[in-house]
């Protein structure tokens, strides 16, 4: 019986020695103050097929950081940074390490976490301060800023509408008084000459504007709807006015007007192309018609008492 117990003791001792020789743990200190950090290190003999599980089952202690595994002289070294925030004595429990699919247990270590002693006699006392308000931030004023911007935009729109837009509308409403019919017609003839339409082969447009000037003069000066009348209708009306002596003109002027309007109709509707000297003559005839086609002047006799 004694021999059997001796064998069992020898076996357990050899197993424990084998365990401790393969895996070692150590800490740089076993006594810390609350919040202080210390290093916990696991060293494993061998580098092949080694599995070091995550550090778990800590009570009263916390893992701050897990450092990178180092290989030193055919050993694997895993380091951890630990700390504790509660006072007391806490164990780092045994950790299971696998080497070539065989499990090994580390030793458990006791860590004492002490509170920091405070000497209240040396603490300088300060009066109780009132509640300090938080500094102002943009969010505290953003609603007022948005309202301010909106009001400024509204005021800008009102100023623009009642000052600038009203002024612009007033300026647009100011109409330039029309020139007398004769002066207006002469001015338009000069502007037509400056365009050089027929010289640039725009003959149809030239005759359209030339006869438009003559018709516009007749309509304003004689109160005849010349712009809407055909050539024959207009000539008939003017002859009737001439016969009753309601206008001042002559047969030669009426004939020039008729020929000018007929030439214009041929250019516009029959694609006629008069020669340069004919166009220049029609321009002169238009001026003669305007000069010699006038409303009859009424003679007012003063009554003699």
CA distance 302 to 24: 145
pLDDT value for 126: 66
Q: Mean pLDDT, to the nearest integer, of 278-293?
A: 92
Which residue in the block uniquely carries the two structure tokens 């509170």?
Answer: 115
Task: Assess contact for 286 and 210: CB atoms under 8 A.
Answer: yes
Average pLDDT for the chain: 82
Q: Which of 131-140, 142-151, 243-252 has the lowest mean pLDDT?
A: 131-140
Instruction: Name the pTM for this structure.
Output: 0.43
pLDDT band at 9 (very low <50, low <70, confident <90, very high): very low
User: Please, which pLDDT band fits residue 113 given cuts at 50, 70 and 90?
Assistant: very high
Model confidence at 204, pLDDT cuts 50, 70, 90, reads very high
More confident residue, 12 or 215: 215
Return the sign of the alpha-carbon dihedral for residues 184, 190, 195, 197: positive
Q: Nearest Cα to 26, choosing from 82, 65, 89? A: 82
| Mean pLDDT, rounded, for 147-171 | 80
pLDDT at 120: 63
Could you list the beta-strand ranges (E) of 48-175: 50-51, 62-66, 70-71, 75-83, 88-92, 96-99, 102-105, 109-114
Average pLDDT over residues 49-72: 86
Report pLDDT for 153: 92
pLDDT at 182 over 70: yes
> Looking up tokens 């009001």, which residue turns up?
151
Give the closest residue to 75 by CA, choosing from 41, 115, 39. Answer: 41
Give the pair of three-digit tokens for residue 148: 């301010």
The model's confidence at residue 300, banded by pLDDT at 50, 70 and 90, is very low
Strand 31-33 and strand 109-114: the pairing is: parallel
- Percent above pLDDT 70 for the chain: 81
Q: What string of DSSP letters covers 176-237? A: PPPPPHHHHHHHHHHHHHHHTTGGGT-HHHHHHHHHHHHHHHHHHHH---GGGS-HHHHHHH
- Is 166's pLDDT higher than 90? no
In sequence order, the 6+-apart residues with CB closer than 8 A to the CB of 279 are 198, 203, 206
Nearest one of 216, 204, 198, 214 to 263, comparing CA atoms: 204
At residue 17, the pLDDT reads: 41
Interval 265-269 mean pLDDT: 91
* Residue 12: predicted pLDDT: 43
CB atoms within 10 A of CB 280: 12
Rg, Å, the chain Cα set: 59
């Amino acid at each position: 019986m004694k021999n059997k117990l001796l064998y069992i003791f020898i076996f357990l001792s050899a197993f424990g020695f084998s365990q401790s020789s393969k895996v070692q743990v150590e800490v740089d200190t076993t006594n810390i103050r609350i919040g202080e950090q210390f290093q916990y290190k696991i060293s494993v003999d061998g580098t092949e097929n080694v599995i070091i599980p995550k550090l778990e089952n800590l009570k009263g202690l916390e893992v701050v950081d897990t450092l990178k595994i180092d290989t030193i002289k055919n050993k694997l070294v895993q380091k951890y940074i630990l700390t504790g925030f509660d006072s007391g004595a806490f164990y780092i429990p045994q950790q299971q390490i696998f080497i070539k699919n065989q499990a090994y247990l580390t030793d458990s270590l006791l860590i004492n976490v002490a509170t920091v002693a405070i000497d209240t006699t040396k603490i300088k006392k300060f009066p109780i301060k009132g509640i300090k308000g938080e500094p102002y931030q943009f969010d505290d004023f953003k609603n007022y800023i948005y309202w301010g911007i909106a009001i400024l935009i509204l005021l800008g729109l009102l100023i623009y509408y009642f000052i600038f837009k009203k002024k612009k509308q007033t300026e647009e409403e100011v109409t330039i008084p029309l020139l007398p019919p004769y002066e207006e017609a002469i001015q338009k003839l000069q502007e037509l000459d400056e365009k050089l339409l027929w010289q640039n082969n725009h003959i149809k447009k030239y005759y359209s504007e030339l006869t438009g000037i003559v018709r516009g003069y007749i309509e304003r000066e004689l109160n005849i709807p010349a712009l809407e009348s055909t050539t024959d209708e207009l000539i008939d009306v003017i002859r009737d006015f001439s016969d009753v002596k309601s206008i001042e003109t002559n047969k030669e002027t009426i004939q020039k007007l008729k020929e000018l309007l007929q030439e214009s109709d041929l250019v516009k509707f029959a694609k006629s192309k008069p020669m340069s000297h004919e166009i220049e003559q029609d321009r002169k005839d238009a001026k003669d018609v305007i000069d010699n086609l006038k409303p009859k002047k009424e003679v007012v006799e003063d009554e003699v008492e």
